[in-house]
Copies of this chain bind each other. A is one copy, B any other.
Amino acid sequence: MARSKEQNERMRETRKEKIRNAALLQFVKQGLFATRIQDIAAEAGIAQGLLYHYYASKDEIFVDLINDALDKTIEASYSVRDMETGPGEKIRFALEKLVETIEHSQTFLDTCRLITQATNSTAIPLEAQNLILEKRNIPYQVIEKIMEAGQKEGTVVAGDPKMLSIFFWTSINGLAIYYSTNDNRGVKLDYWVIASMFLIETEREREE
């Protein structure tokens, strides 16, 4: 044999990641169908042909990316769920961090855009559709339970917890989508405006 297995594995994974990053950039900008293999290859700085040594098809890259994106949002929701605070504080903290992330992390915006894009098209690979069916609702369910606990705690407003969870994620998602295509210099977001949808205002304890 010519090269150590482990070394090959590592190099392969590095190159695959480079391709994924390039593809994410292009998919987010143009969408799955308008993105040509040539676009991805150029963005990654390689020839078209080489791409097929790492991925069998454009669809396969897309599926990989969707899977990553969904897992990221699920992980984020789990880290909120597992916080060692009361449910009201979980909601507050999550919104504070999410708004901050929208303002500062391009990767987060890209993740939101990709999921929204995929969720809103029937013309994506079947495997991607299945992943969405399987994973998309988990963050909604996590927040729903926290809302429910918050109502028992007395810190979250009344109303169907499922509805509150929908408002929670759709506000964040709508904001992320807006931010990814607008230049928002000069507008500083105050997460508390969103938080006030869900939290019973005692004395608004803010850090500014």
**Which A positions have Cβ atoms within 8 angstroms of B?**
29-35, 113, 116-117, 119-123, 157, 159-160, 162-164, 166-167, 169-175, 177-178, 180-181, 184, 186-190, 193-194, 196-198
Contact = CB atoms under 8 A, between A and B. Distances in A.
A53 to B, nearest CB: 26
Contacts of A31: 31-33, 120-121, 123
A170 B160 contact: no
Contacts of A157: 193, 196
A198 B171 CA distance: 14
Contacts of A30: 121-123
Contacts of A119: 181
Given A164-B193, A170-B175, A113 B123 contact: no
10 contacts: A31-B33, A33-B34, A160-B188, A163-B187, A166-B184, A166-B187, A167-B175, A167-B194, A170-B171, A170-B174
Contacts of A189: 163, 166
A28 B193 CA distance: 31
